[in-house]
Chains A and B, each alone.
Chain A
Amino acid sequence: MKSVVLIKRVPDTASVFTINDAQSGVDTSRLKFVMSPYDEHAVQEAVNLKATAGGEVVVVTLGPPEDKEKLLTALAMGADRAVLITGDGIDSLGHRGIAEALAAVVREEAPEVVFAGKQAVDDDGSQIPERVAELLGWSHASVVTRFSLEGTTATVDREIEGGLLTLEVPLPAVFSTEKGINKPDYPKLPNIMKAKKKPLEEKSFADLGLTAADLAAKVTVTQMSLPRQERLNKLLEGDSATQVAALVQVLKEDEKVL
């Protein structure tokens, strides 16, 4: 069973974000970067699958050369090989273009299963896994909290508002992972050392028969800003009973929510 895992390196959301002078983006120079948390679940699920079904795990990312570092993390978690799509124009892509480039690699690799995170926590695009599946003409299931495989059919649980769907998905297929599907095992030192010896291949758009111009985003950021804080910040006063009475009063009379 061969699987491909799509991972993205994103700023740690615990960082302090500042807006650049042009108000067109954030100042990334002081940010700490991590593997997007849902992608850790995706890597783990592929590694778990290999443990039971054998095969190979190939981890793929598209981004600047620094993203290698997170590919190494995935290799240390148990992936066998890594592919980095990088080169000129990498920053100009939107979700449409990112998905096309990733789909091109998946097509070459021809796995049975693709795992990705349900969303990348930089801009919460929430669309790459579905797009990759559609571009390949494969089935997909999103926000998966349980994955099991029998033959060439996966049975998955997928959460929706106030409910849970159980789906049978024929392979090849793309699955996006939700927290709860597994507990990522963070790599131990010997595995981190071993990861450095595993194959890591770089590909350019040209290698994939694509051009940056064709993949360029058709969504442009017109402004980035820090959210306005318009909260009342009103601490209620008096003893507990008085505070509670005051709260119920405002919720009922002022906010009209009771």
Chain B
Amino acid sequence: MSVLVLLEQRGVLKPSALEAATAAAAIAQASGLELNAVYIGQSLADQASELAGFGIKSVYAYEHSDLGHYSNDAYVPIVRDLVEELGATVIIGSASALGKELCASVAARLGVELVQDAIACRWENGLHATKPVYAGKVVSEVAVNDSPAMVSLRPNVTAVARNGEDAPEILQREMPSVSLRTVLKEAAEAATGTVDLTEAKIVVSAGRGVGGPEHLPVVEALATAMGAAFGASRAVVDAGWIHHSHQVGQTGKVVSPDVYVACGISGAIQHQAGMRTSRVIVAINKDPQANIFKICDYGIVGDLFEICPLLTEAVKLAKG
């Protein structure tokens, strides 16, 4: 009987790993269960110190150069076997792109249910999770009655919290021998300096209001000044003004930044599905009746071609 947290890495531990550890720590505390963690990657080495303060007893570290990149063939059996070895009864993972794939695969191998992309979880005579459904129009509270009970947490919705400085023991594990059927041919990282949407603390998005691809730089400059990732509505993507990987919404990315700035976006429900869990929402739109103003915290009714450049300069000044 214990809680196991899956620590995701992409070369270094991801912020979502520490968020999952925070959530798992709360569950371990409320249930009285022991908390352990599993790390699969090239090398945990000097990042182990980041794992102090969560009340983790042991970190099972599978370190190998062949484990640097995610692989279903290698990662899934490791987690499955460790869950069985430890008799883990609760498993908390991250609902990142690869985290979701890992959790789904592990759940299938264990033959248990899984709640993906929860925005909160808690212990109350068992594991409970909160999860938006129907494009975020409805919030579902679920009880996970399976054992192990498994949940993956949406990145960026849990504030990392440590309690004290107790460091876990790190237990080095051998990489089991597996045949790697799927081959990773290439891993292209986005150009440096660009911030990824789903993990960004600030997202600035452009909508059809920018009028054309030649005007995107007006909004992009604001994103750069704010240190933000650059998003877009589907209208902008469908018009071919920007690559679809920038799309925020039901059929795009789901983001939960500290601040979401919507520029020239009307606020269609499918767009909201991708950004409504943002902490602060700012809207810039020339139509005072636009839906986006109904779901924003701060709104500026105005022409984005006037507002965005002013805001870009003011932000630069404020940041010094």
Contact = CB atoms under 8 A, between A and B. Distances in A.
> Interface extent on A, as a size class?
35 or more
Contacts, number: 251
Main secondary structure of the interface of B (DSSP, over half): mixed
B29 interface: no
A130 interface: yes
Contacts of B189: 162-163
A89 interface: no
Looking at chain A's contact residues, the main secondary structure is mixed
Interface in A87-143: 94-96, 99, 121-127, 129-131, 133-135, 139-143
Interface stretch (B31-39, B209-217, B269-277): B269-277
A233 interface: yes
A243 to B, nearest CB: 5
A240 B115 CA distance: 45
A38 B95 CA distance: 19
A248 B114 contact: no
Contacts of B259: 251, 255, 257
A203 interface: no
Interface residues of B, number: 95
A236 B196 contact: no
Given A219-B146, A222-B142, A240-B306, A13 B105 contact: no
Contacts of A225: 138-139, 141
B141 A222 contact: yes
B144 interface: yes
5 contacts: A96-B113, A134-B108, A226-B139, A233-B296, A240-B310
Interface of A: 11, 13-14, 17, 19, 26, 37-38, 94-96, 99, 121-127, 129-131, 133-135, 139-143, 155, 158-170, 179-180, 217-227, 229, 231-236, 240-241, 243-245, 247-248, 250-252, 255, 257-258
